[in-house]
Amino acid sequence: MNRRHLLQVALLAAAGTMGGAAFAFEGAELYAGEKALYESARKEGLVVSFDTGPTWANWAGQFKAFQKRYPGVEMVYNDLGSAATVVALDKARNRPQADTAYYFAASALDAAKAGVVEGFKPVNFDRLDNTLRDPDGRWFSIHTLNVAFLVNTKLVKTVPQSWADLLKPEYKSAIVYQDPRSTGQGQVVTFAAAFGNGGSMDDVAPGIAYLGKLTKAGNVLRTVGTTPYAQFLKGEIPIWIGYENDGLKAKFVDGMGDAISVVIPQEASAAAPYAISLVKNGPNPNAGKLWLNFIMSDEGQKIFAEGFVRPAVTGVSMPASVADKMPAAPQVRAMDIAKATAKKAEIDAGWAKAILGQ
């Protein structure tokens, strides 16, 4: 290598360490200012993303795509549960550890009320329905998820089709779902059960009563505090009342095939909005904004769709290969985020009394 070539290499290396374009991704920007934001994020070198467990909602696909596009910005994440995430943010408000927080949208309202998140309007913010975003950008929905029965057909002889079916003696010690006191999914399951048993957003009592009946019938194997996806794949759970995207992922991506049936209950079910926020005074604000912009870009929304998750941004089409696998479900009802938030305390107390006798 000649002296001139060595000098060129040294200059390029120096440009990279000084935050120049040498290490930026190649090609067109996803949005105006993306490369400049990336350079600021690369100086921070890290984004801490709370409650984005990799088996959930295709976060694994998002992590992979993000780090491929933005080398030098590492990802750190955990899987706490929605309500627990708000508690964690509140406890650390004087020294925040997270840059972003993801949760069931009702918990997002709790985080905004607690003052632990701040306003940020990402790319495509204006393409969200008004009901799916905070006016000041303190939270915004990124996708929705439908409640479904995920049934291991190797363990369950007759696949249940309705909430009424789940009460039958043949499903004794077969059912798992998430605890509504600490997880967003548990809250949504309670609303879905309410919808399927004569209730509504204003009347969640029928859902609480129904879950109490499941327990009294001996049909609940256990309730859990985090997603039991790995246990379901291992064949440890006969019936999981969860989300359709996890069932479709297990069926078409993770090898279960015909060993799983994904059923939207006949009576009714719930479509839950999930949201994300920029944490107030987070340690890596530019990396946090880069991450949120990527998730909300058309590219990021399509990555959610590839995981059988329904994008929140209007105009993002589902890939045909994915859309064809999504079950038709006219009985699914949209949820009102504000009402869901207002009902959380009632669900927490009612569930504890009905299921635990507390």
Judged on CB neighbours under 10 Å (0-12, 13-18, 19+), 352 is middle
- Residues 309-321: pLDDT tens digits? 989 999 998 878 8
Residue 20 vs residues 13, 30, 41, 202, 293: alpha-carbon distances, Å: 10, 19, 12, 55, 21
Greatest C-alpha distance within the chain: 82
Rounded to an integer, what is the distance from CA 117 to the centroid of its chain?
18
Q: Over pLDDT 90: what percentage of the chain?
A: 84
Number of neighbouring beta carbons within 10 Å of residue 83: 24
Average pLDDT value for residue range 47-53 = 97
Q: Please provide the average confidence, as pLDDT, over all residues in the chain.
A: 91
Q: DSSP character for 133?
A: B
What pairing do the DSSP bridges indicate for beta strands 269-279 and 100-104?
Answer: antiparallel
Average pLDDT value for residue range 194-208 = 98
According to the model, what pLDDT value does residue 14 have? 33
pLDDT surpasses 90 at 22: no
pLDDT grade, residue 171 (50/70/90)? Answer: very high
pLDDT grade, residue 26 (50/70/90)? Answer: confident
Tokens of 244: 């359709």
User: What are the DSSP E strand ranges found in 206-259?
Assistant: 220-224, 239-243
CA distance 4 to 346: 73
- Residues 172-183: pLDDT tens digits? 999 999 999 999
Average pLDDT value for residue range 343-354 = 96
CA distance 8 to 11: 5
Whether the Cβ atoms of residue 217 and residue 349 lie closer than 8 Å to each other: no
Name the one residue in this structure whose structure tokens are 């408000």. 93
Name the one residue in this structure whose structure tokens are 């079950």. 327
Half-sphere exposure of 274 (CA within 13 A, CB side): 30
Tokens of 319: 């890939």
H or E element: which one contains 104?
strand 100-104
Q: Can you state the angle between helices 59-69 and 298-306, rounded to 10 degrees?
A: 140
Average pLDDT value for residue range 108-130 = 96
- Residues 237-251: pLDDT tens digits? 999 999 999 999 999
Name, in order, each residue with C-beta under 8 angstroms of 3's C-beta and a sequence gap of 6 or more.
Answer: none
CA distance 67 to 57: 18
Name the one residue in this structure whose structure tokens are 């959610």. 304
pLDDT grade, residue 15 (50/70/90)? Answer: very low
pLDDT surpasses 70 at 13: no
Q: DSSP character for 193?
A: H
CA distance 342 to 271: 17
CA distance 10 to 46: 26
According to the model, what pLDDT value does residue 23 have? 56
